[in-house]
Structure 1
Amino acid sequence: MRILYLADSYRPSRSACANRTCVLVQALRDAGHDVRVLASTDSLIGAPEDYQPPEYVTFFKTYPLVEKTLVNRLRNNFGGAYEAVKSAKRLGNFDLVVCTTPPLLLTSSAVKIAKAKRAKLVLDVRDIWPDVAYEMGSFAPNSLYGRFFAHEARKAYAAAALVASVSPGKVRKLKDRVPNGDVILIPNGIDESLLDNEDDLALAEHLRLEESPVCVYVGNIGLAQGLGTLLDIAKVRPSVRFLLLGDGADRTKLQERVNREGIGNVEFCGTVDARGVYTLLKRAAISYVPLVSSRLCDSIPTKMYEALACGCPVLLAASGDAADLLDACGLGKHASPEEPSALLAAFDWLMAHPFSDKERATASAWVVENHSRQRFAKHFVKEIEQLESCHA
C-alpha cells in the first residue's frame, strides 16, 4: 500500500507524538509499504541547523509552538491544519491516510485529504479530545470550545474506517462514538531502542547522580502533568534531590514557586536526549510520573513504561489504567493526585524500601515482554493490512 502518515510531530522531535509515530511508521515500512510522513515544522524546533530529513518525510509549515499560550496554540493548530492539506496535494495518491491525534484539528485535514485521494482513513487517538480538556478543567462541554471540538471529533470518527487508541479505557470510551465500532487497542509501551543506549557518564557526573538519593521527573512540564504535587513533596523532604528534566508551559511558573518558597533541593536541568533519559532512569531512586487529575483515568504516561523498563521504581500520581499497569508490574507505588498525604506516604515507603537489583531486572524484563511498542506496532500493521484486504 501507499500510505500517508499525518502527524503533529516526527523525528528529530522527541515528543510523545513523534516517539509513537516513528515506531508505527517503521513497522509499516518494514512490512514493505510505501509510507510518506507529513508532519509539522514543530518537529524541527531545537534540531541541528544541518539536519536533513529522510526522503520519505515532508514537513508542512505552521506557526512555531515555542511558547504554548492559547493564542499560539490556535494559530499553530489552525494554520497547520490548512498547510497540511496544501502539502498533501503535492505528494500524489494514497491507498490509506493515517492521522495521529491530538491535535484534534489535524483530523479535519486528514478527512479532507482522504476524501480527495479516495483513500481510507485510520485514526490513531493518543488522547480523546475534547474529553481530556474537560478532565483537566480547561473548558466545559457546553462552552464554545467544547461544542466546536466535539463537532470536529464526531466528523473524524464518522469518516474513519478504523480507530486505534492507547489504553483499554480509551478504547471502551471510543467504541460508543465510532459509528462502525471498529476500535482497536494499540498501546504505547516501551520503545525497545531506549534500552540499547549506554550510560552517559559525563551527564551522570554533571548531575551528581551518585552523591545522594535522587527523584527524577523526565518529560513535558505542562498543564496535564500537575507537577506542583512534586514540589509539595520536595518541600518537606529536603534530604532528597529532585531533578526535573524537560520543558513546557508550566516550567516558568514552577521555577518561580521554587524561588519564592526557597525549595533548595529542586533543580531544573533542561532537556536530555534518549541516552540521557536512560542514564537518569538507570541511576535514580524514584521516577515521578504524575497526571494532574484522577479524572484522567484512561491515560498511561509513556514515561512510566520507560522508567519501569530501565528498572527505576515509579511513584505514580494517577488512578485507573496507569495504576493497574503499575500494580501488575510491582515496581512502585501510586496514589491519587488529589491526595497529597497519600502521595507523600507512598514516596516515603519507596525511599525506605529500596528494590533489589533482581527485582528491578525482573520488572524490566516483564515490561519488555508484555509491553513492547515494537510488538504492538506489528499488530497495528496486521490490522491495517486486514482492513485493506477486506475492502479490496
Structure 2
Amino acid sequence: MRILYLADTYRPARTACANRSVVFANVLRGAGHDVRVLASSDSLIGAPEGYTPPEYVTFFETFPLVEKTLVNRLRNNFGGAREAVRAADGLGGFDAVVCTLPPLLFASSAVWIAKRKRAKLVLDVRDIWPDVAYEMGSFVPGSLYGRFFERVARKAYAAADLVTSVSPGKVEKLNARVPNARVVLVPNGIDESFLENEDDPSLVERLRLDDGPVCAYVGNIGLAQGLGTLLDIAKTRSGVRFLIFGKGADEAKLRERVLVEGLSNVEFCGAVDERSVFTVLRHATLAYVPLVSSRLRDSIPTKMYEALGCSCPVLLAAEGDAADLLDECGLGVHAAPEDPAALLAAFDRLMGRRFSDEERAAASAWVVANHSRQRFAETFAQEVGRLAARHA
C-alpha cells in the first residue's frame, strides 16, 4: 500500500515526535508498504552540515520554531499546516494518510489531504489537545483557544478511520469522543536501537559523571516538564550534582533562578546527541523525570523508558499511568509534582537505595520485553495495513 506519514518533525531531529515516527515509518516500510514521510523543516534545526535526507522523506518549509514563544508556535503551526497540504499535492496518490499529533493543526491538514487523495485517515495521538493545555494550565475550557482547538479536534476525530494513542488513559478519553473510528492502544516504549549505543568515555571524563552522586535530567526544558521542582530539591541537597541536558522555553527562567539563588551544584549542559544521552543515563545515580502537574495522569514521558532501559533508577514527579508503569518495573520511586516534601523524601529514599547489578539488568530487560517500541510499531503497521487493504 502507498502511505503518507505526516509528522511535525522527523530525523535528524530527536524530538518525541521524530523518535516515534522514525520507528513507525521504518516498520511500515519493512512490512512492504511504500511510505512517504512528510515533515516540517524544523526537523533540520541543528542538523549536521551537509545532511541529506532519505529519498522517501520530504520536508516542507515553515516558520522555524527556534524560540518557542506563543506567537512563534502559532506562526509555525499555521504555516506548517498550510505548507503540508501543498507539499502533499506533489507526492501522488495514497491509500492511507497517517498523521501523528500534536500539533493539532496538522490534523486539519491530514483531513484535507486524505479527502483529496480519497485515502483512509489514521490519527496517531501522542497528546490529546486541548486537554493537555487545560491540564498544564495554559488556558481554560471555554476560552478562545479552548473553543478553537476543541472544534479542530472534533472535526478530525469525525473524519478519522482509525485512531491510535500511547497510554491506557488517553485511549479511554478518546473512546468517549471518537464517533466512528476504533481507538487502539499503541504505546511509545523504548526504541531498542537506542540501547545499541556505546559509552562516550570523553563525555564521562569531561562532565565527571562518575564523580559523586549525579542526578540527571535529559529532555526538553519546557512548560510541560515543570523543572522548578528539580531546583527545589537541588537547593536543599548541595552534596549532589544536578545536570540538566536539553533546550527549551523555560531554560532562561531556570538559569536565572540558579544564578539568583546561587545553586552552584546545578549545571546546564546543553543539547546532546543520542550517544551522549545513553552515556549520561548509564552513569548517572538517578534520572529525574517530571511532569508539571498530577492532572497529566495519562502521560508517560518517553525519557522514562530510556532511563529504565539504561538501568538508571528514576525519580518520577507524576501520578497516573507513568507511576503505574514505574511501580511495575520497580527501578525507581514517584511522588506528586505539587508536593515538594514528598518529592524530597522520594529523592532521599532513592539516593539511599543501592540497586544491585542484577536488579538493574532485570529492569532493563523488563522494559525491552514489555515496552518495545519496535513491537508496538508492528501492531500499528498491522492495523494500518488492514485499513489500507480494505480501502484498496
TM range (shorter): over 0.9
Q: Which residue of 2 is the match for residue 371 of structure 1? A: 371
Q: 1:200 to 1:216 in 2, by over 3 A?
A: same
- d(CA) in 2 for partners of 1:86 and 1:137? 34
- d(CA) in 1 for partners of 2:163 and 2:191? 22
- d(CA) in 2 for partners of 1:125 and 1:275? 28
Q: CA deviation at 1:271?
A: 1.1
CA offsets per residue over residues 71-123 of structure 1, 9 Å max, x none?
A: 10000000000000011101111110000010000110000100011111000
2:368 is paired with a residue of what secondary structure?
Answer: helix
CA offsets per residue over residues 341-391 of structure 1, 9 Å max, x none?
A: 001000000111121111100000000000000000001111111222344
Q: Which residue of 1 is the match for residue 321 of structure 2? A: 321
- d(CA) in 2 for partners of 1:388 and 1:67? 39
Structure 1, unpaired ranges of 5+? none
Letter of the structure 2 residue corresponding to residue 57 of structure 1: V
Q: Which residue of 2 is the match for residue 68 of structure 1? A: 68
Q: Which residue of 2 is the match for residue 2 of structure 1? A: 2
1:322 is paired with a residue of what secondary structure?
Answer: helix
Q: Percent identity?
A: 74
CA offsets per residue over residues 11-57 of structure 1, 9 Å max, x none?
A: 00000000000000000000010000000000000012200000000
1:37 is paired with a residue of what secondary structure?
Answer: strand
Q: Which residue of 2 is the match for residue 254 of structure 1? A: 254
Q: Which residue of 2 is the match for residue 299 of structure 1? A: 299
Q: Which residue of 1 is the match for residue 176 of structure 2? A: 176
- d(CA) in 1 for partners of 2:171 and 2:206? 43
CA offsets per residue over residues 216-261 of structure 1, 9 Å max, x none?
A: 0000000000000000000000000000000000001000000000
Aligned residue runs from structure 1 range 117-266, under 5 A: 117-266=117-266
Is 1:338 aligned to residue 338 of structure 2?
yes
CA offsets per residue over residues 175-221 of structure 1, 9 Å max, x none?
A: 01111240000100000011101100001111101111100000000
Letter of the structure 2 residue corresponding to residue 159 of structure 1: A
2:129 is paired with a residue of what secondary structure?
Answer: coil
Letter of the structure 1 residue corresponding to residue 157 of structure 2: Y
Contact 2:10 2:18 in 1 (8 A): yes
Contact 2:119 2:391 in 1 (8 A): no
- d(CA) in 2 for partners of 1:186 and 1:204? 35
Contact 2:220 2:248 in 1 (8 A): yes
CA offsets per residue over residues 316-343 of structure 1, 9 Å max, x none?
A: 0000000000000000000000111001
2:49 is paired with a residue of what secondary structure?
Answer: coil
Is 1:84 aligned to residue 84 of structure 2?
yes
Letter of the structure 2 residue corresponding to residue 268 of structure 1: F
Letter of the structure 1 residue corresponding to residue 127 of structure 2: D
Q: Which residue of 2 is the match for residue 54 of structure 1? A: 54
Letter of the structure 2 residue corresponding to residue 134 of structure 1: Y
1:255 is paired with a residue of what secondary structure?
Answer: helix
Aligned length: 392
Q: Which has the higher contact order (CA 8 A, sep 6+)?
A: 2
Q: Which residue of 2 is the match for residue 21 of structure 1? A: 21
Letter of the structure 2 residue corresponding to residue 287 of structure 1: A
- d(CA) in 1 for partners of 2:385 and 2:37? 18
CA offsets per residue over residues 148-190 of structure 1, 9 Å max, x none?
A: 0000000100110000000000000000111124000010000
1:269 is paired with a residue of what secondary structure?
Answer: strand
Q: 1:181 to 1:97 in 2, by over 3 A?
A: closer
Q: Which residue of 1 is the match for residue 45 of structure 2? A: 45
CA offsets per residue over residues 289-336 of structure 1, 9 Å max, x none?
A: 000000000000000000001000000000000000000000000000
Q: Which residue of 1 is the match for residue 308 of structure 2? A: 308
2:287 is paired with a residue of what secondary structure?
Answer: strand
Letter of the structure 1 residue corresponding to residue 338 of structure 2: E
| CA RMSD after TM alignment | 0.7
1:71 is paired with a residue of what secondary structure?
Answer: helix
Q: Which residue of 1 is the match for residue 290 of structure 2? A: 290
Q: TM-score, normalised by structure 2?
A: 0.99
Q: Which residue of 1 is the match for residue 33 of structure 2? A: 33
Letter of the structure 1 residue corresponding to residue 12 of structure 2: P
2:68 is paired with a residue of what secondary structure?
Answer: coil
1:91 is paired with a residue of what secondary structure?
Answer: coil
